[in-house]
Each structure stands twice: as C-alpha cells, then as structure tokens.
Amino acid sequence: MTSERWMLAFDLGDETYCVGMERVANVVERGTLDRTDGGPKFLAGRMDLSDRVLRVVDLKRLFGVTTTVRHTGDIEEGEHVIAFGSRADGKVDAWLVDEVRDAVTVDTDDLLEANGLATHVEGVVTADGDQFVWVDAAAINDL
C-alpha cells in the first residue's frame, strides 16, 4: 500500500525541498519585510498580508545555505514567501525561500533518511525521478 502526499516543492540555493500542501495557505511573490527587534538570527522579519501579520523565517539562514540574513526590504526577484494557515493563537508562520516549483506527489513509504538536518526534516522523498528534502513544517514553525 502506498502513502501518497501532495507536496509543494521549492529551492534553497542548489537544493530542492518540499512541504506538505495541506499546510500551505499562500505563496507570495511580492511584498516587504519589516524589521523585528530581537528574536532568533534566522528570523527574516515580519510581513503584512491582507489582514494577517506573517512571522517570516529565512530557511536559507536556518539550514546554513547562507550566512547573510535579511531583516528588511522588498522580496527580491527569485524569492518567495510560503505562508501557512493560522495557528490556534492567531499567529501565522511563513518561510522566505528561493524559487517555488510545482506541486508534486510523493510516496512517503519510500522515505529515505536525511543526514545533518534531522531536527528540521522528515527525510528525502522522490517524485518524477527527482529527490526532495521533505521539510518538517511543525518543527520549524515551533522555533
């Protein structure tokens, strides 16, 4: 029996990642990040989206793909913000990523162990011959 899941694929640097589509509320291509005082180094800032304020995590910084983190400014070409549904406390989490790809269907029964980022990923999955690092949204959004 296969356990298929619908995933949103995205890039961070040269690596391709994915997250469960059931968690994704929006993908934003334009907007401005506002500075936040304090907080973890991987926090890119806050962003207003309709009637919600997004807490935006810079995944490249969190995963060590870059050492530079942005705290203000417009979303640049080739960058996207993946916004998630509101939590029970009303907070909305979002991630700053590079290019967002198409949604893919993966078979989670074929999950491979990921090395190095175990606290932030479920593992590695394959779709259409390509491998994707499956990001653990709950683990990151709880940071």
Query: How does pLDDT run across 33-72, given as a tens digit for each residue?
Result: 888 887 888 888 899 888 888 999 999 888 888 656 555 6
**SS3 for 93?**
strand
- State the average pLDDT for the chain: 86
Beta bridge partners of 94: 56, 83
Q: How far is it, in rounded angstroms, from Cα 43 to Cα 17?
A: 19
pTM assigned to the model: 0.87
pLDDT of residue 70: 58
Q: What does the pLDDT look like over 96-134, one tens digit per residue?
A: 999 999 899 998 888 888 776 667 889 999 988 899 999
Cα angle 134, 69, 34 (rounded to 5 degrees) comes to 105
Q: How far is it, in rounded angstroms, from Cα 100 to Cα 57?
A: 16
Buried residues in 56-76 as b, exposed as e (16+ CB within 10 A): bbbbbbbbeeeeebbbeeebe
pLDDT of residue 10: 96
Domains of the chain, start order: 4-141 (2.40.50.180)
Q: What does the pLDDT look like over 76-97, one tens digit per residue?
A: 888 899 999 887 777 789 999 9
